[in-house]
């Protein structure tokens, strides 16, 4: 296995559609077969001020690649590596670790084009929400620049319907319709910001709460020679993988500041700006996503979390208001997020 650094991204991935304009405020994402979310995702993030989209496409075959290639503000990149391929990564500090190709490209590809600029990072089922009174992501970038902050953190807030019956039907095709179909969230703080430090994570994700409530517990499955002996690393891979409570959706890309993985920047973020990412896990395509993730095995630890999601969905069927608890509230606007500590401005 060859060792790769950020500087190797240009030979490992290539632009297959569009042309990057380094002066435009850009949102980066890695995607595979996300046609269901794409129209709403692009429309929403255009609406909040992103001017360009840089997408690493992992050999989509559901029409996503063709759709993205037809968009005048989208640049598509591809690679011979799939998302789940394991690379030996040497970060700019010289630290070596194994990294999935999809995460490596998230770290490295924006560095090919943007020097000294802020870049956005959200996944296809994630929608960035701006604070009350803020009309454009450009205002957030300007504030971070004036503070000298290298990044802004966001609470990752899972949205959901009241019951599994709300997962039926087609996937809504706008952010407003997604909120209308899956209106509930947990009004509980997930992230605390401290000056000069990485974020302090609090509480539990909605996924973790549902696993506990419906008694979905990790179970080691032994196949083949693992019936005789299973390394501790393989056992750990079948434990629960924590659903994210935060990520860093805005990072200044320069020689000192960078994304270090799926959720953190290498430098402490702004202590005064906390955004919110609406995460639509529990949707009409939930069952299909479980099947796809399990088949690909590209997610963390061969998609073990999605095996538990399948168990959760089965146990929740028929449970009236099974998603709801005493802290579940219907979304009305970003001021709610401020009030319960999921956003700061």
**Is residue 143 within 8 Å of residue 264, measured between CB atoms?**
no
**pLDDT tens across 183-193, in order?**
999 999 999 99
**pLDDT tens across 140-192, in order?**
999 999 999 999 999 999 999 999 999 999 999 999 999 999 999 999 999 99
Three-state SS for 176? helix
Residue carrying structure tokens 């973020």: 269
The whole-number mean pLDDT for each consecutive block of 10 residues of the chain, a chain of 345 residues, reads 91 97 98 96 98 97 97 98 94 94 96 96 97 97 98 98 94 97 98 96 92 82 62 54 85 95 94 98 86 57 70 91 97 98 97
With CA atoms as reference, report the closest residue to 247 among 128, 96, 86.
128
Residue 233's pLDDT is 54
With CA atoms as reference, report the closest residue to 56 among 81, 37, 39.
81
**Mind giving me the DSSP string for 206-243?**
HHHHHHHHTT--------GGGGT---HHHHHHTSPPPP
Between CA 210 and CA 7, with CA 297 as vertex, the angle to 5 degrees is 110
Q: How far is residue 57's CA from residue 295's CA, in Å, rounded to a whole number?
A: 18
Beta carbons within 8 Å of 88's beta carbon, 6+ residues apart: 1, 2, 3, 4, 96, 97, 98, 99
Between CA 69 and CA 78, with CA 73 as vertex, the angle to 5 degrees is 45
With CA atoms as reference, report the closest residue to 174 among 184, 162, 185, 182.
182
Count of positions (residues) in the chain: 345
């Amino acid at each position: 296995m060859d060792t790769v650094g950020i500087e190797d991204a240009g030979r490992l991935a290539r632009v297959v559609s569009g042309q990057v304009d380094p002066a435009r405020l850009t949102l980066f994402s890695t995607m595979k077969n996300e046609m269901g979310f794409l129209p709403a995702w692009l429309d929403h993030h255009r609406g909040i001020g992103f001017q360009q989209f840089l997408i690493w496409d992992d050999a989509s075959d559901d029409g996503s690649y063709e759709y993205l290639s037809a968009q005048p503000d989208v640049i598509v990149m591809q690679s011979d590596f799939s998302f789940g391929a394991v690379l030996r990564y040497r970060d700019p500090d010289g630290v070596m670790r194994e990294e999935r190709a999809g995460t490596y490209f998230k770290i490295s590809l924006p560095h090919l084009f943007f020097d000294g600029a802020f870049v956005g990072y959200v996944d296809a089922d994630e929608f960035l929400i701006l604070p009350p009174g803020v009309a454009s992501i450009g205002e957030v970038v300007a504030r971070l620049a004036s503070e000298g902050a290298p990044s802004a953190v966001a609470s990752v807030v899972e949205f959901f319907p009241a019951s599994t019956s709300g997962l039926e039907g087609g996937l809504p095709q706008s952010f407003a319709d997604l909120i209308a179909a899956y209106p509930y969230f947990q009004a509980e703080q997930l992230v605390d910001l401290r000056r000069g430090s990485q974020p302090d994570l609090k509480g539990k994700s909605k996924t973790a709460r549902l696993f506990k409530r419906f008694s979905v517990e990790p179970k080691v499955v032994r196949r083949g020679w693992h019936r005789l002996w299973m390394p501790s690393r393989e056992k750990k891979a079948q434990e629960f993988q924590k659903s994210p409570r935060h990520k860093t959706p805005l990072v200044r890309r320069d020689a000192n500041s960078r994304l270090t993985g799926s959720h953190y920047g290498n430098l402490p973020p702004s202590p005064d700006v906390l955004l919110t990412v609406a995460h639509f896990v529990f949707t009409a395509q939930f069952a299909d996503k479980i099947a796809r993730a399990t088949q690909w095995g590209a997610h963390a630890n061969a998609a073990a979390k999605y095996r538990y999601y399948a168990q959760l969905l089965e146990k929740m069927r028929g449970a009236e208001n099974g998603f709801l608890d005493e802290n579940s509230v219907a979304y009305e606007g970003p001021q709610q997020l401020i009030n319960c500590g999921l956003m700061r401005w």
